[in-house]
Amino acid sequence: MSEPEKDPDLDVDRLRKQVSEIRTLGVADKSEANKPVELNGFAKRIAEQYREDKYSPAIMRGMFRLVDFLALFLIGQAINFFYSQNIEMLFWYMPVVAGGSALSVLFLQLADCYQIPVLRTPRTAMGRILGAWALSFASMALTLFFLKSGHDFSRLWFGSWFIAGAAYLVPQRFFLAWALRHWLRNGVLERRAVIVCGGRPAQELIRSLESQPDNDIRILGVFDDRLDRRSPELIAGYPKLGTVAELVEFVRLARVDMLIISLPMTAEKRILDLLRKLWILPVDIRIAAHATKLKFRPRAYSHIGRMAMLDVFDKPITDWDSVAKRIFDIFFSIVAITLLWPIMLGAAIAVKSTSKGPIIFKQKRHGFNNEIINVYKFRSMYTDLGDPTAAKAVTKGDPRVTRVGRFIRKTSIDELPQFFNVLKGDLSLVGPRPHAVLAQSHDRVYADIVEGYFARHRVKPGVTGWAQINGWRGEIDSDEKIKYRTAYDLHYIENWSLLFDLKILFLTPIRLFNTENAY
């Protein structure tokens, strides 16, 4: 008697619930395999080839929309100028031209004309492209008719703009198709993926991905803990680069976008073991759904081409969110420097005139993706007693701190040079505070105290953060303090928005009056 068909959503829902607990509670694997390991030489050479950033497909699609809007707007205004020879008419026509250009981009978007596969095949997509352009003109004409404003605009200009716009869109789409092929071939526009777990499922996954003509995934290699015949050294032409513990270091060295776990849903325990090790990384984590014979419900999955994937973790603050956050950082950093430069100048004079040594103190700290960065501060310690590694935390009445240093530390004036770190791109204005590389509590580094500690590094560290405005700043003299800091940092990462950043930024000066733990 055959077994009844199992509802796949039962497994998926249970898996999602357990994944949510990992994300919320910060549960990470604390086995030896999850501790930093030395990446083998071969994997290191592969990672070095992919250190450079490349363009995100989402960013490129946004740029294509912007280019189309500007091009169609300029075409409309140029025809208007040549037709009327009147500068005033440019301003009269501007709202209609801007609105028509925006409508065109909107209809092109609704027709999926900015999807990479569609952009790569302009011949098959030309009907929907020209149809979207025509629909935008029909909408403009209908709007002007109901507003009784049609007689205020030239029919010759209207028709000329339609023809010229179509004459732009057709060759432009063929040029974009050529450019996309070139960028994909040269790795400028691609998503870099690593396959987790080898064997036959990985082989089937790789062949399925490579058989898709619109595939933008570049597979860098395979990582698997198994060393037996189930996981050979070469899988579908791709080498096995190391173990899962080495994968953590590989992702921190290379610019990897996605980890794809090639295990069936029935291997739930093994999948969760992997997720506890990998969730701390700033990458998308997917489970390939090809290795099961169950029928899937569309609401539970995303797709890479025709390949169904279960989305487990998403990289935080990506694509246009990262662009918006960068603009936010630059704008408010410049504002802060403009307003606070007298205080910074006074602090610099006070530091230099009261003790020997440099004005600025540089300290190596953990940045995004665990990279080491130099963070700037006004020097608050005597030069010969300074501790660049921060192996010994500053305590109340610490004799290493100068008289000026006590004041600027208590008021956080010593942190003001970090606005230049923000402009440089090492820090964000708001984010988890960067800790010194060897920072510790009771002779134990923070990663040994807090499970999931390195998940703080999935985003850029910040000058201020959610933990700091909630009172968790200053000396860390107990395990509880670093645990609470990490919990607040993870809450910030999971709930990020520009409004959340703005709230933290404006609360920071108010909360700085609480100097209880700042020495």
Amino acid at 27: V
Examine the pLDDT at 119 and tell me if it is beyond 60: yes
| Cβ-contact 104, 73 below 8 angstroms | no
| Cβ-contact 435, 366 below 8 angstroms | yes
pTM (two decimals): 0.79
| Cβ-contact 433, 412 below 8 angstroms | no
Higher pLDDT: 22 or 509? It is 509
In 10 A of CB 450, how many CB atoms?
Answer: 24
27-83 pLDDT, tens digit each:
565 554 445 677 888 888 888 888 777 777 888 888 999 999 999 999 999 988 887
Examine the pLDDT at 8 and tell me if it is beyond 70: no
Examine the pLDDT at 101 and tell me if it is beyond 90: yes
Identify which of 413, 411, 412, 404 has the alpha carbon closest to the alpha carbon of residue 381. Answer: 404
- Angle between the 268-278 and 8-25 helix axes, to the nearest 10 degrees? 30
Distant-in-sequence, close-in-space partners of 112: CB < 8 Å, separation ≥ 6: 118, 128
In 10 A of CB 466, how many CB atoms?
Answer: 27
Buried b (16+ CB within 10 A) or exposed e, 470-507: bebbbebeeeebbbbbbbbbbbbbeebeeeebeebbee
359-368 pLDDT, tens digit each:
998 888 888 9
Average pLDDT of the chain? Answer: 82
For 108, the token pair is 């092109």
Average pLDDT estimate for 493-510: 92
C-alpha of 115 from chain center:
20
What is the Cα–Cα distance from 236 to 62, expressed in whole angstroms?
35
160-202 pLDDT, tens digit each:
999 999 999 999 999 999 998 888 777 777 888 999 987 788 8
What is the Cα–Cα distance from 499 to 501, expressed in whole angstroms?
5
Distant-in-sequence, close-in-space partners of 405: CB < 8 Å, separation ≥ 6: 351, 379, 380, 381, 414
Higher pLDDT: 12 or 95? It is 95
Average pLDDT estimate for 374-389: 81
Name the band, by pLDDT with cuts 50, 70 and 90, for residue 389. low
Domains of the chain (ranges plus CATH)? 8-54+190-315 (3.40.50.720), 57-185 (no CATH), 320-511 (no CATH)
Name the band, by pLDDT with cuts 50, 70 and 90, for residue 3. very low
Distant-in-sequence, close-in-space partners of 88: CB < 8 Å, separation ≥ 6: none
Residue 173 is predicted with a pLDDT of 94
Residue 10 is predicted with a pLDDT of 46
Phi/psi for 392 (5° steps) reads -115, 115
232-286 pLDDT, tens digit each:
778 888 888 888 888 888 988 888 889 998 887 777 788 888 888 888 889 999 8
330-369 pLDDT, tens digit each:
999 999 999 999 999 999 999 988 888 899 988 888 889 8
- Angle between the 244-253 and 41-48 helix axes, to the nearest 10 degrees? 30
Which of the residue ranges 60-74, 100-114, 476-490 would you say has the lowest mean pLDDT? 476-490
Nearest-5° Cα angle at 250, 249 to 252: 65
Distant-in-sequence, close-in-space partners of 330: CB < 8 Å, separation ≥ 6: 422, 423
Buried b (16+ CB within 10 A) or exposed e, 356-395: eeeeebebbbbbbbbeebebbbbbbbeeeeeeeebeebbe
Residue 460 is predicted with a pLDDT of 93
Residue 20 is predicted with a pLDDT of 64
